[in-house]
Amino acid sequence: MPVSVGRNTPLFVAGGLVAALVAGFVIGREVQGNASASPSSSAIPAHTHGGPTSGDAAAGTSLSSAGYSMIAESTAFTAGVARDFRFRVIGPDRKPVTNFVVAQERKLHLIVARRDLSGFAHLHPSMSPDGTWSIPLTLPSAGVWHAYADFVVLDPSGQQVNPTLGLDLAVPGDYKPVAVPAPERVFTVGGLTVTYEGTPQIGGTQPFTVRVYNSGTPVTDLQRYLGSYGHLVVLREGDLAYLHVHPEDQLIGGGVKFWLAIPTAGRYRMFFEFQTAGAARLAEFTVQV
């Protein structure tokens, strides 16, 4: 069954969650804590992928970074038609990379988002021995989609590096952009209400805690998904600069607590993935910084 990226698709896509439990995926909108009050090395076992980089580059906006490049066999799709998305990561030695390090239970996380931020999916392709990654993918609507390869790899010196690479996927047809929703602290998915506490600011790391409620009662039995009680992907409107934040290892007062640093002013779309009762879900928020 292909994974489709849409707005109310059960798999980890903008607005809902797409449960990538089978061989294929469609990108849509439904997806896939913690202790101290101030950030410190001991208080933040979580880590961040992406974020500010040297120079003017922003994570995930380029297909090359730190000597690594993302090369796709094809970036052309037909709306609503499943096809294999195949790509390789080429290293500084100009050879396909195969020495990926497992991070959050996977060797590579593939994030796909529509450029107007109306579609989102968090997927996990498989790698063949020659370093080719592949996954059946359906892009449901015309427009430009952006694919991020988020991974950890050993560089030639044996050190771990975490470049986030990105490239565009083109779907020809009648493109109808969807307006980014207005900022709102409450999102409902699967009969659950998701809210967040905290105000992201520029130039400093701030606590950002997400809580889940069922009919007004806090949900305290959140389950780990990909090694954590939640995942937070933050995309900046305009250039789709990428930030992937993992929370502290334990729930704090029943909430999933992140430490979040926003690099610049702008409008951001935040995608919070969590799991309860065996079902992965996605909550989405718009934040103006």
CATH at residue 225? 2.60.40.1930
Whole-angstrom CA distances from 35 to 1, 44, 73, 104, 188 are 40, 8, 44, 20, 26
pLDDT of residue 4: 52
What tens digit of pLDDT does each residue of 158-189 get? 899 999 999 999 999 999 999 999 999 999 99
Q: Examine the pLDDT at 76 and tell me if it is beyond 90.
A: yes
- Which residue segment(s) compose the domain that 224 sits in? 186-288
Per the prediction, the chain carries an average pLDDT of: 84
Of 113, 140, 171, which residue constitutes the final position of a domain?
Answer: 171
pTM: 0.83
Of 116, 146, 171, which residue constitutes the final position of a domain?
Answer: 171
- For residues 287 and 39, the model is more confident at 287
Cα Rg, the chain, nearest whole Å: 18
In this structure, the answer to whether residues 147 and 270 fall within a common structural domain is no
Q: Examine the pLDDT at 25 and tell me if it is beyond 50.
A: no
What tens digit of pLDDT does each residue of 59-73 get? 899 999 999 999 999
Q: How far, in Å, CA of 48 to CA of 6, rounded?
A: 26
Of 171, 195, 223, which residue constitutes the final position of a domain?
Answer: 171
Q: How far, in Å, CA of 88 to CA of 114, rounded?
A: 21
In this structure, the answer to whether residues 140 and 218 fall within a common structural domain is no
Domain count for the chain, please give it: 2
Q: Examine the pLDDT at 40 and tell me if it is beyond 70.
A: no
In this structure, the answer to whether residues 80 and 161 fall within a common structural domain is yes
Nearest 5 degrees, angle CA 210-CA 183-CA 192? 40
In this structure, the answer to whether residues 19 and 132 fall within a common structural domain is yes
